[in-house]
Amino acid sequence: MSEKISLRGRDVLALGGFSAAEIRLILDTAKSMKEILHRDIKKLPTLRGKSIVTLFYEPSTRTRTSFELAGKYLGADVVNITSSTSSIVKGESLRDTLYTIEAMNVDAIVMRHKAEGAAAYAAKAVKPVIINAGDGAHAHPSQGLLNLFTIEEKKGKLEGLKIAILGDILHSRVARSDIAGMRKMGINIHVAGPRTLVPRFLLEEGVVVHDRIEDAIEGADVIEVLRIQLERMKGGLFPTTREYARIFGLNKERLSLAKEDVLVLHPGPMNKGWEISPEVAYSINSAIQEEVENGVAVRMALFTLLLTGGATDDKFN
């Protein structure tokens, strides 16, 4: 007999705050949401009368659009605020911006911000549900969830799989969310990248760090390639993109070290030819496009569970 779990009213700040059972509930709910995405008329009344604001202090294509569509498919009213077109350019503080949004009686705020901890700060400041859509290098929990969803969909399970996370771990909120979520779901995590881009201090118990990406890839069920940023090169963290691609890039030869049916993920946007070769990015092993679709499903699941309580909520039934 399983205990009733409700995520109603919960803030989603980082996956570290969720139990394996709660993550399981989100993934299972996302499965039914994905079916809806394949319907001819993609519209549900679940969130009719609910309002959602996306508050983005950093540029984004897929994450913001994904949240917006997820909300709209479920019948919510979704308003987008970006820093360049709001009072933020007039120097309004984060607290005041949040107060303003709260005063309009919104139910959820989806927030992306450059500063680590900004979403948690928001959760302390205002009442609406806060969903962290990326706070600096700290966390991007919905990305972590959609990676789990994609892996499970392709592999049929999570427990016992081996993942290799490659590249800029140090600055990656995706890596931190993956590590937090995957550890909980029993995935064996191996990370590799230039030493300058891997934290000097342990991220979490049980994560295996390699210097050579080949050692991380060896026998992997899943490989996630992280985006490399040009500004890191200018900061002296690695010499050139050419050398990066040669020593740390995922190409066909290196891919062959993994299991034959290895799944390749990338949170996007990709720098093809740097961290990932085009042939790998578009190979049959790649689920990079499906991740985008799954992202919508996972975010629909989050909205449903947070704003209505989902299937365990009586009103929903």
Partner 1 sequence: MTNLIKNGRVIDPKNNIDKNLDILIENDKIKAVGENIDDKDANVIDATNKVVTPGFIDMHVHLREPGQEAKEDFISGSHAAVAGGYTRVATMPNTNPVVDTAALVRSLTKRGEEAKAHIEIIGAVTKGQKGEELSELGDMTEAGAIAFSDDGHYIDNSKILLNALDYLAPFNKIIISHAEETNLVEGGVMNEGVVSARLGLAGRPSVAEDIAVMRDILLAEYANARIHIAHISSKNAVEIVRAAKKKGIKVTAEVTPQHLTMIEDMVDFTDSSTKINPPIRTAKDRDALLEGLLDGTIDMIVTDHSPHAPEEKDREYIFAPSGFPGLETAFGVLYTELCLKKKIELSTVIERMTAAPARVFGIESGNLSVGSVADITVLDLNAEWTVDDKAFFTRGSHSPFVGKKLIGKPYGTIVSGKIAYWDGKIC
Site for partner 1, rule CB under 8 A: 93-95, 113-118, 120-121, 124, 135-139, 171, 173, 176, 199-204
Name the minimum Å distance from CB 204 to partner 1.
7
For 89, the token pair is 């350019």
State the first-to-last Cα distance of the chain, in angstroms, to the nearest integer: 20
Closest CB to partner 1 among residues 9, 235: 235
Q: How far is Cα 207 from Cα 179, in angstroms, rounded to an integer? A: 8
Contacts of 81 (CB under 8 A, 6+ apart): 53, 54, 55, 56, 101
Name the minimum Å distance from CB 176 to partner 1.
6
Closest CB to partner 1 among residues 75, 199: 199
Q: How far is Cα 67 from Cα 252, in angstroms, rounded to an integer? A: 33
68: left (phi over 0), alpha (psi -120 to 50) or beta: alpha
- Which stretch of DSSP H or E encloses residue 190? strand 188-192
Taking alpha carbons only, the member of 266, 257, 258, 189 closest to residue 224 is: 266
Name the minimum Å distance from CB 121 to partner 1.
4
Closest CB to partner 1 among residues 116, 153: 116
Closest CB to partner 1 among residues 14, 300: 14
Name the minimum Å distance from CB 136 to partner 1.
6
**Half-sphere exposure in the Cβ direction for 1 (13 Å, CA):** 1
Question: How far are the Cα atoms of 48, 77, 120, 125, 224 from residue 150, in angstroms, in the given order?
Answer: 28, 27, 27, 33, 12
Name the minimum Å distance from CB 30 to partner 1.
25
Name the minimum Å distance from CB 278 to partner 1.
30
Name the minimum Å distance from CB 170 to partner 1.
8
Closest CB to partner 1 among residues 97, 286: 97
**Cβ(34)–Cβ(297) under 8 Å?**
yes
Closest CB to partner 1 among residues 11, 68: 11
Taking alpha carbons only, the member of 13, 15, 37, 276 closest to residue 148 is: 15
Name the minimum Å distance from CB 134 to partner 1.
11
Burial class (CB within 10 angstroms; exposed 0-12, middle 13-18, buried 19+) of 223? buried
Name the minimum Å distance from CB 191 to partner 1.
12
Closest CB to partner 1 among residues 97, 285: 97
Strand 108-113: give its sheet, edge to edge. 77-82, 51-56, 108-113, 129-135
Closest CB to partner 1 among residues 26, 191: 191
Q: Are strands 222-225 and 208-210 parallel, antiparallel or unpaired?
A: unpaired
In the block, which residue shows the tokens 């499970």?
152
Closest CB to partner 1 among residues 86, 312: 86
